[in-house]
Amino acid sequence: MDLVRLFAGLLLPWLLGVSALLVLRSDRRPLAAPGEFAWLAGAGYLAGAILLTLWMRALSLAGVRFGVLPIALPLLVLSAGFACIAWRRFKSELTAAPAAATRALVASPGLTGAWRVLWWIAIAWISLRFALLALEVGSRPLYPWDAWIQWATKARVWYEMGRIVPFARVEQWFAANGSLYFDASPEYPPTMPLLQVWSCLLLGRWDDTLMNWPWWQIGVALTLLVYGALRQLELDAMSALAGALIVASLPLANVHVALAGYADLPMAAYYTCAALALLRWSVTRDARDAGLALLMALACTQIKNPGVAWALTLLPGAVVALSPRHSPKIIAIGFAAIVLLLGVLMQTQPIIFNYRLHLDFDLAWRALAESYFLYGNWNLLWYGALMAAILAGQRLLAPPLAALTTVVACGLLFLFVVFGFSDARAWVTDQTTVNRATLHLAPLLAVFMVLAFRAFAARWRETRSAQASFAS
């Protein structure tokens, strides 16, 4: 019975987020449009999960003890309200939605022959992958190290106390004479521990294995939203599925699902969703897409402290999307500002998120190259992204790809600065933090690779067409 409660309660974020996105969606795009179901399901879970934890924080501030009913009942009522509004607006579409989704899957959209076989092989592979990951999540206890010492510590205390209580570092803990709790990172946001608390509340007990199901849900949601976004950007079904397959098969992402408890996979999911919502907005100019991008960017700041920096890397992309004609100038100004910032770092030693920044460049190039190009962390992601970027050429700076190119470039620059100019470069050689930080960008890099290759294919077709016209 406790497992029934667990899995029913874990559907709450999906119900809340999807119903909210249905209410906010545009009338101009039908529900049966390619990728719409997948996008709503993927982005909907992420939106619902962050709203769930915000509500838990509000209850704690109000002095209400955590419990299934105080948390779930208001959110269920809210979800029902959203669902009613959505039903009134899209009754005919929602009535036909299940049948349309089934037909789209069974008919393997627009594919015949060998392509249809490949479609089903890819679907089967992704399904098997997540089934095996589900076995891992459902049977493996919490895995060290950071999951033990800076995330689940908060979850355990908050579950037992029934509210959010403050954590501090050892010195403050000693000075407080036991009135505070401490762990390795007391300043980290509470979002991921609260999701673990919610799972344990549903079970009615502390369970450091079953409390980690949100990581599996985030992995599924990330795969769905990538497929949905690529279809909405007018990629054919097989190309969009290939992008989702690349994301679902990233070795390190799979490790972070199986060995749940770290915040890096959630960081990657929210950042990717924010960037893709921004890319949607650059095409549709719909304020609702901009609002979703803003919500996901703000959510990044509530996953890990570096999420603030990752959210800021979206701003140049937004500026380029606002003024695509002037994007080369904007990018040039941006790089000039970066050079100025590096000049400031020559004279200062600021400490940001416990990292000391100073212009004392000493990047471990060999270890970084081994991590990205030789070891099995990323499959062939970095080779593919580099080749696709070279093939796409100037198309990278043309709408709508220019905004995504800018975001990816800013993300890479952020990693370069952190591992080249801060004391975090010491962790490049041991292949730990460098790969976890890179995971934040990796799913978006996979999307960039697919879209860059499409830009190259379009240019190649235009060239061939022009040559044929000239020859005739």
Distance of CA 193 to the CA centre of its chain: 17
- Residue 383 and residue 334 share a domain: yes
pLDDT value of residue 92:
72
Closest CA to 40 of 290, 314, 289, 321: 289
Tokens for 341? 């910032």
**Nearest-5° angle of CA 312, CA 318, CA 324?**
145
- Residue 275 and residue 318 share a domain: no
Residue 98 falls within a domain, yes or no? no
Distance of CA 202 to the CA centre of its chain: 25
Residue 244 · residue 225 · CB < 8 Å: no
Residue 100 falls within a domain, yes or no? no
In this structure, of 194-198, 227-231, 325-329, 449-453, the range with the lowest mean pLDDT score is: 325-329
Closest CA to 18 of 90, 59, 79: 79
**Which one of 261, 293, 325 terminates a domain?**
293
Instruction: Put residue 353 in one of left, alpha, beta given phi > 0 → left and psi -120 to 50 → alpha.
Output: left
| pTM for this model (two decimals) | 0.93
* Number of separate domains in the chain: 2
**Which one of 242, 274, 293 terminates a domain?**
293
- Residue 250 and residue 340 share a domain: no
Residue by residue, DSSP assigns 428-455 as TTTTSHHHHHHHTTHHHHHHHHHHHHHH
pLDDT value of residue 399:
81
Higher-pLDDT residue of 160, 111: 160
Tokens for 279? 């890319």
Residue 62 falls within a domain, yes or no? yes
Residue 105 falls within a domain, yes or no? no
Residue 374 falls within a domain, yes or no? yes
In this structure, of 274-278, 389-393, 417-421, the range with the lowest mean pLDDT score is: 417-421
H or E element at residue 325: none
In one-letter notation, the amino acid at residue 362 is: D
- Residue 152 and residue 282 share a domain: yes
Residue 104 falls within a domain, yes or no? no
Share of the chain above pLDDT 70, in %: 86
Residues facing 355 on adjacent strands? 352
Residue 458 falls within a domain, yes or no? yes
- Residue 318 and residue 274 share a domain: no
Q: How confident is the model at residue 29 (pLDDT cuts 50, 70, 90)?
A: confident
pLDDT value of residue 349:
64
Q: Tokens 């972070």: give the residue.
A: 256
Residue ranges making up the domain that contains 170: 2-93+117-293
- Residue 467 and residue 392 share a domain: yes
Closest CA to 253 of 38, 442, 99: 442
Q: Residue 352 above 70 pLDDT?
A: no
- Residue 375 and residue 458 share a domain: yes
Measured distance CA(34)–CA(335) in Å, rounded: 37
